Structure 1
Amino acid sequence: MTFHIGTLFIPKRICRASPGRLRWYARLPHKPRRTMMLPSLPILHLAGTRVRIDDISLRRSPRVNALRAGSSASDIQAFIAAANTAGVRYVEAPLPDQGLDAVPFGTGRPTGTQVAISVWDLDGGRRALALRPDCLVLTLVASEAGNLALTGRPRVDTIEQLQQVAALAAASGVSIMAAVHAAFGCPLDASVDTEVAIDLADLFAAGGATGIVLCDDTAMADPLSIERACDGLRDRWQALDVAVELSNARGMALANALAAMTTGIAHFRVSLTPGDTHTSAMALLAMLHGMECETGIDMDRLHACAALLEFPIGDRSPSKPPSQTSSGIARV
């Protein structure tokens, strides 16, 4: 430990000595040191931030897709109950196969847990509303080529159908969120940038959406592009909940999360399943808790919840990952 006097750094052991020894040390030849005052890092100002964490394991996990693995209603409810116990208050799932259409998500689940279903078209929206979810996630791809490869329809048709779904949801009292995939770039269309994704999100923001999600399915985002894209979004959509869904395919998820937080976005969607290319809930929570951020999630209970996803719910055997298009965007 040292004390700084002008340009002279004096060791603490010398300062404890007699004044004579201190004068002797000061007479020794010393190279002057230049001091520098650095500005506070943005991370310091993020300490104590309240961060919302949503779970998308049932929709996104490459090792388990409970709704397409022949699982029963009790299996699904067991996962939702475990997530609720861990402090997760939002679980998103894909639209189930026809065999599970009779299982309402609005019943038999813990109080305080919202269940959302992601839909791509009008038919899926009608089926999803019949399950009585808390929220519908209207999903589309920012690029024309990516949307065509994933849905088989032009982007304008997808937008038109999702707008009809939004009207049906409003009539049923179900909230909607808009999730724009490949929001930070698409390998099938280099001309698409985040401004296109933001313009698409504006359409649904004006149509009654309560939240906007920007998804980095293609792993093309980096901290600089995240900060540039997300800067000002909280002011642009003041009345909406803005979330980011990040990919960890290139190991940038945590850095990208920090970049998003510096712009005021503190809402992330993650997967509990180890090995998922999306942001790992465990890694993100470890970082957030180390930064003294508040998440309301119990890590130990979350590990127990993740254990349910070690193998597909229902048959307990390894499953195939979700199919993907050439764009790298996973089918949901």
Structure 2
Amino acid sequence: MSAKFPRRVKIVEVGARDGLQNEPGDVVATSIKLELIRRLEQAGLSYIEAASFVSPKWVPQMGDAAEVIGGIEPKPGVTYAALTPNLKGLEGALEAGVKEVAIFGAASESFSQKNINCSVAESLNRFEAVMERAKAADVRVRGYVSTVMGCPYEGEIAPQKVAEVADIMYQMGCYEISLGDTIGVGTPLKAKRMLEAVSGKIPMPQLAAHFHDTYGQALPNLLAVLEEGLAVVDSSVAGLGGCPYAKGASGNVATEDVVYMLHGMEIETGIDLPKLISAGNYIMDQLGRETRSKVARALG
């Protein structure tokens, strides 16, 4: 195996937030979300995105963010993070006791306008107040950059544009930048070129990959960036999630599939795969659907 591959990869589990936030139909009960989080902990996940402090008018599934955070019985060594796109969201998260938050920008102007109704520059300016407040509260901030390999409105996105946005967020104080292929159109060579541009500005240990599997390219793309030394991967149990602004964006890569691949490459994750599969099956049973994880389907 190439010496470039990391010996250990940190998995950032986004199923309870990114996975459930666009779930159609009835709002998923708080008790179900808490049970999912508990099962993910038991499977060995050390970083769980648990909630999003946004307007319930726009994201009904996240309307119980404070209740979810308040209902968690913290396990030592586990981070329970929340998405806070603005100062109001951050204040809500701080009040609920969140110790780590995330903000999100985009590499595409059109996507930024459609998603958060402002330009990329305006979105970054808004984050200044969030970063200052978080720093004052001693809360770490993770940054997301979306549409890093393609936009539903603009098509291909230049790697340098991704690097520019990522660097601004990093310089602002985000300790880690997650690079999101929001609509899942990337391929391995594009992934490498994008990462090369970004890692020219930000140290590789501060970068993460957040790849969607719309075209079945998430695992090949992850393999491509792992080979370059990236060692943090965002994924969603059972492949939950998707992007409401992207046609056909079927969802995040399934955590089970990522873990199976990593373990097969003798890369450590600290995750118990059977327990992870059980957690995925639990939430999909509650939603009344079949898992999107190929590994979970194969292993039953």
Question: Which residue is equivalent to 1:125?
Answer: 90
Gaps of 5+ in 1: 1-42, 320-332
Aligned residue number for residue 135 of structure 2:
170
What do the CA deviations read for 1:138-186 (whole angstroms, capped 9, x no partner)? 1122111101111122333221221211111111111001100101121
**Hey, which bits of structure 1, 4+ residues long, moved more than 6 A?**
none
Give runs of aligned pairs for residues 215-226 of structure 1, distance below 5 A.
Answer: 215-226=180-191
- Percent of residue pairs bearing the same amino acid type: 23
**Relative to structure 2, which stretch is displaced further, 48-57 or 244-253?**
48-57
Contact 2:11 2:234 in 1 (8 A): yes
Aligned residue for 2:18? 60
| Pair 1:84-2:41 in alignment | yes
| Alpha-carbon contact 2:238-2:256 (below 8 Å) kept | no
| Residues 94 and 102 of structure 1, relative CA distance in 2, 3 Å threshold | closer
1:232 deviates by 6.4
Structure 1 residue 47: Cα displacement: 6.3
Mark the CA change 1:85 to 1:317 in structure 2 (over 3 Å): closer, same or farther. closer
The answer on whether the counterparts of 1:119 and 1:138 sit within 8 Å (CA) in structure 2 is yes
C-alpha displacement of 1:217: 0.7
- What letter is aligned with 1:261? L
Q: Assess, with a 3 A threshold, how the Cα gap between structure 1 residues 104 and 132 changes in structure 2: closer, same or farther.
A: farther
Q: Distance in 1 between matches of 2:206 and 2:195?
A: 13
Counterpart-to-counterpart distance in 1, 2:225 and 2:123: 28
Work out which of the residue numbers 274, 281, 293 in structure 2 matches 1:307.
Answer: 281
Match of 2:232 in 1: 267
Map Cα deviations across residues 30-60 of structure 1 (whole Å, 9 max, x no partner): xxxxxxxxxxxxx543567211111110123
Residue 209 of structure 1: aligned partner? 174
SS for the counterpart of 2:185 is coil
Establish whether residue 296 from structure 1 lines up as the match of residue 270 from structure 2.
yes
- Count of residues paired in the alignment: 271
Paired with 1:91 and 1:248, the residues of 2 have a C-alpha distance of 20
Answer whether contact 2:185 2:217 (CA < 8 A) is retained: no
1:93-104 paired onto structure 2 within 5 Å: 93-96=50-53, 97=56, 100=64, 102-103=66-67
Report the CA distance between 1:274 and its aligned residue: 4.3
CA-based RMSD of the aligned residues comes to: 2.7
Q: Deviations over 1:59-88 (max 9, x none)?
A: 23269859x82523x443332221111110
Tell me the residue number matched to 1:280: 254
TM-score, structure 2 normalization: 0.81
Which of these residues, 110, 113, 118, is aligned with residue 78 of structure 2?
113
Q: How far did residue 194 of structure 1 move?
A: 2.4
SS in structure 1 at match of 2:237: coil
Change (3 A) 1:133 1:297: same
**What code does the residue aligned with 1:205 have?**
Y
Amino acid at match of 2:137: S
Distance 1:55 1:99, change over 3 A: closer
Task: Say which of 143, 146, 150 aligns to 1:185.
Answer: 150
Q: 1:91 to 1:171 in 2, by over 3 A?
A: same
Larger-gyration structure (1/2): 1
Structure with the higher fraction of residues in helix conformation = 2
Which consecutive residues of structure 2, in runs of 5 or more, have no partner in the other structure?
Answer: 57-61, 242-250, 290-300
Distance in structure 1 (CA, Å) of the matches to 2:202 and 2:192: 16
CA contact (8 A) 2:80 2:99 kept: yes
SS of alignment partner, residue 310 of structure 1: helix
Equivalent residues of 1:121, 1:162 under 8 A apart: yes
Partner of 2:103: 138
